[in-house]
Amino acid sequence: MATDNAPHGANTANNEGTDQQQDRTPQGGDDTDWKAEARKWESRAKENLAKAKQHEDAARRLAELEERDKTETQKLQDKLAAAEKRAKDAEAALLRHQVAAEKNVPADLLTGGSREELEAAADKLLAFRGDNDQQGKQEEPQKQRLEIPDEGKQANAAGGGSTAELFAEAVEDLF
């Protein structure tokens, strides 16, 4: 029996595998030009490489265009969001000023996001101002009148009093 030198799984029962390899190996009568074949496959490989580079460049340009378009889309989305925010803020300011005009209170003192919340805040301000007005009327029913000073003179109230007292009374009149 012959020695098993063939790789594992090779057919050792008959020598067909080695006979086929011998048919493929160049022998003196083979007229295949191996150098020409090598040059042919080398040129095909170069062509394929050039095509691959073209496809790579096209893919890169496509990615750049998509990124640019995405950036423009993002810019438009940002502009839309900013416009929506400005519109929402303007509507809130309009509502605040409407409630302030209806309730006769300063708009910048109103807080809330809805008409009901703004009206409730205005009612609280009115209640607070009403309490201060009633206290001020109980303490001094008549208002003092300020005189406009001439050159070198100080302002005097018709009823007298210091500047701090006059300022306090003027502030009370505002509320």
Give domain status of residue 14, yes or no.
Answer: no
Instruction: Enumerate the β-bridge partners of residue 146.
Output: 157
Asked whether residue 132 is assigned to any structural domain, the reply reads: yes
**pLDDT tens-place string over residues 61-111:** 998 888 888 788 888 898 899 999 999 999 999 999 999 999 999 988 898
Q: What is the pTM of this model?
A: 0.37
Q: Retrieve residue 132's tokens.
A: 């201060």
Q: Is residue 160 part of a domain?
A: no
Neighbour tally for 24: CB within 10 Å: 8
The set of residues, in sequence order, having a beta carbon less than 8 Å from that of 88 and lying 6+ positions away, is none
Q: What is the residue-wise DSSP string for the chain?
A: -----SPTT---SSSHHHHHHHHHS--TT----HHHHHHHHHHHHHHHHHHHHHHHHHHHHHHHHHHHHHHHHHHHHHHHHHHHHHHHHHHHHHHHHHHHHHHTS-GGG---SSHHHHHHHHHHHHHHHHHHHHHHHHH-SSPP-BPPP-TT----BTT---HHHHHHHHHHHH-
Answer yes or no: is 83 within a domain.
yes
Query: Is residue 67 a part of any domain in this protein?
Result: yes
Residue 78 covered by a domain: yes
Q: Is residue 153 part of a domain?
A: no
Let me know if residue 9 belongs to a domain: no
pLDDT in tens, 127-149: 988 754 444 444 454 556 666 65
Measured from the Cβ of residue 132, the count of other Cβ atoms closer than 10 Å reads 15
For the chain, what is the domain count? 1
Question: Which residues span the domain enclosing 132?
Answer: 35-142+165-174
